A and B are shown apart, each in its own frame.
Chain A
Amino acid sequence: MLWSVYSLRNLWARRVTTLLTLSGLGLVVFVFVAILMLAHGLEQTMGRTGDPSNAILLSKGALSEIESSLSRDQTGVLAAQPEVVTLADHQVAAVREIALQLTLRKRERGSLASLSVRGSSPVAFAVRPRLRIVQGRAWQPGTTEVIVGSQVARQFPEARLAETLRFGRREWTVVGIFEAEGSGFDSEVWGDVDQMMTTFHRTAFSSMTLRLADPEVLPAFKARLERDPRFKVSVKREPEYYEGKAEGLARLIRVTGLFLTVVFSVGAILGATMTMSASVAHRTTEIGTLRTLGFTRGHILQAFMLESILLSLAGGLLGVAGAALLNRVTISTVNWDTGAELAFGFHLTPGMVGEGLLFAVFMGLICGLVPAARAARIEIVHALGERTA
């Protein structure tokens, strides 16, 4: 009790140094937690995209929809598989789509932004039941009406009901805004597939997504189609496809983040070690006094370790508090794998708070060890002689 009071007051007595040191440590923890939040947010977003009951079909060898091309004839046969759900109106739950990556000049500031556009058809809503139109309505087939994902609506001021988007040398009227549970679809613009194919001079689809009656049969379904020499397709479970698309970006965030954390932590740890060493040097007589009173080398070690850990923990709390401010902040970035603009959020979990503080304590242990050991090794007579000699 008295011991922690002692440590805290010593930190307070040197509050300017303490503050500088703990800001350094705090910054490291901030970066560390922010990276965890970011990677987690990305995973959440991508993991939420797609439905495990759905299979996405791409041309063989294509890694993304952009590179893929499926002919009209091919998709006709592929949709007629027994595993595919038949809807109430005897239509099969299969949606043929084209995916486009467009560069758009934002109306407001004239800056260029990347936009993912999907040419689709109304059956898409049956294939992806989690998608909800929150404002307006769906597009009418055969028209240049479009609906926009909630993230697009947030980022493009012109993506409002009754406003128009201009791409492919045509005006597209926004008639609805949809939400897809924070998934990657939220960053897309959807419209009529035939209109888009005409506009962009396409004759082939990019992908076809099928809803299977039983998600369990997907591996067998996949094996059968991929082996069939007539098709030349690759089949993936929809969420796995989207997770795969974000893999590169997630790895980049993790590696960069880890690198930043390490670089910053080296600096911060050196700084804190120097602070603690100065504190030991400054308090040599005090150490001699405590030892004279009967405190052991172990007590001295403890006192300085405690001080170092409290210092780092305070820095950790500062860093976590800073990171908490990012909570629910949504950032938009370009997915390097696809070139698509993708919005995802920072999300702080109790686990990350724990990891951040644990990391802080770990740094405190490292910073304190050498100075505290030196403090414990001081000979009483030398320590006391320091001032009187």
Chain B
Amino acid sequence: MGDPVVSLHNVTKTYIRGGTEVSVIRDLSFVIPAGTFLAIMGPSGSGKSTLLNVMAGIDRPTSGSVVVAGTRLDQLSEGEMARWRARHIGYVFQTYNLIPVLTAAENVELPLALTHLTRRERAEHVKTALRLVGLGDRMDHYPRQLSGGQEQRVGVARAIVSDPTMILADEPTGNLDRESADDILTLLARLNRELGKTIVMVTHDPRAAERAQMIRHLEKGLLEMPP
């Protein structure tokens, strides 16, 4: 285990709902060392997604400092944050969120549109990523021509194609049957083990969480240490 990739300090996130302040994350501090495969568990509404989104740089904490991949996220501008995300974060969505009008290969290519790679280099990266997730033969399929499990594998390929510092996954198996879910979890574990990717996965499924190296429970905005 290396230096921390994520380090949160006194992070708080509150929403104003119906005139009263609702605190979703309360004074949270923790670090995630590089190369970790961490599962964050907790009941629905406990703030798992909010926490993940803060680490992904798509949401901002109300207070506290968030350092990810060596950058103080809470101090970045919108545009800087977008460029930072493109460089450091691979995000896997519960609902896959593939672009329906683009093929598997084009979906995977999307993050590379933000890099300076040549067309040929991009094609190489896309092919490598899709082969890695076992979909080398489905490059030209549109999302609607794929099963849910395959769609999510394209989602994983899209998350790793630009070789980001970290992969964040929000309930990546939430919409999948057992078998497809296992495939995805195996894939994530492999990415962690073979490529040394830091992975943070939010889930409320204990069987999914078991596949991670480390499990943290989020209960009412507080992260509980494992026993």
| A residues adjacent to B (C-beta < 8 A) | 1-3, 5-6, 9-10, 12-13, 285-286, 288-298, 380-381, 384, 387-388
Contacts and interface: CB of A to CB of B under 8 A. Distances in A.
A293 B168 CA distance: 12
Given A295-B82, A384-B97, 5 more contacts: A2-B106, A12-B101, A293-B85, A294-B114, A388-B95
A2 B161 CA distance: 16
A235 to B, nearest CB: 70
B110 interface: yes
A380 B93 CA distance: 13
Given A9-B101, A13-B101, A292-B56, A2 B110 contact: yes
A1 B111 CA distance: 13
For chain B, what secondary structure do more than half of its interface residues adopt (helix, strand, loop), or is it mixed?
helix
Contacts of A297: 78-79, 82
Contacts of B151: none
B58 interface: yes
B59 interface: yes
B86 A291 contact: no
Contacts of B111: 293-294
A292 B113 contact: no
A298 B94 CA distance: 26
A255 B94 CA distance: 58
Contacts of B56: 292
Q: Interface residue tally of chain B, by bracket? A: 20 to 34
Interface of B: 49, 53, 56, 58-59, 78-79, 82-87, 89, 91, 93-95, 97, 99-102, 106, 109-111, 113-114, 119, 158
Contacts of B87: 294
B86 A381 contact: no
Contacts of A9: 101-102
Nearest to B91: A292
For chain A, what secondary structure do more than half of its interface residues adopt (helix, strand, loop), or is it mixed?
helix
A13 B78 contact: no
A294 B93 contact: no
Contacts, number: 76
14 contacts: A13-B101, A289-B93, A289-B99, A293-B85, A293-B110, A294-B82, A294-B111, A294-B114, A295-B82, A296-B83, A298-B79, A380-B58, A380-B59, A388-B94
Contacts of A2: 102, 106, 109-110, 113
Given A2-B110, A294-B86, A381 B99 contact: no
Contacts of A298: 79
A187 B102 CA distance: 59
Instruction: Give 6 nearest A-B pairs by CB, closest first.
Output: A294-B86, A9-B101, A289-B97, A296-B82, A380-B58, A294-B85
Given A2-B106, A381-B58, A387 B99 contact: no
Nearest to A12: B101
Contact of B97 (A5, A12, A286): A286
Nearest to A298: B79
B58 A6 contact: no
B92 to A, nearest CB: 10
Nearest to A387: B95
Contacts of A289: 93, 97, 99
A380 B53 CA distance: 10
Contact of A6 (B86, B95, B102, B119): B102
A294 B97 contact: no
Contacts of B101: 6, 9-10, 12-13
B221 to A, nearest CB: 17
Nearest to A7: B101
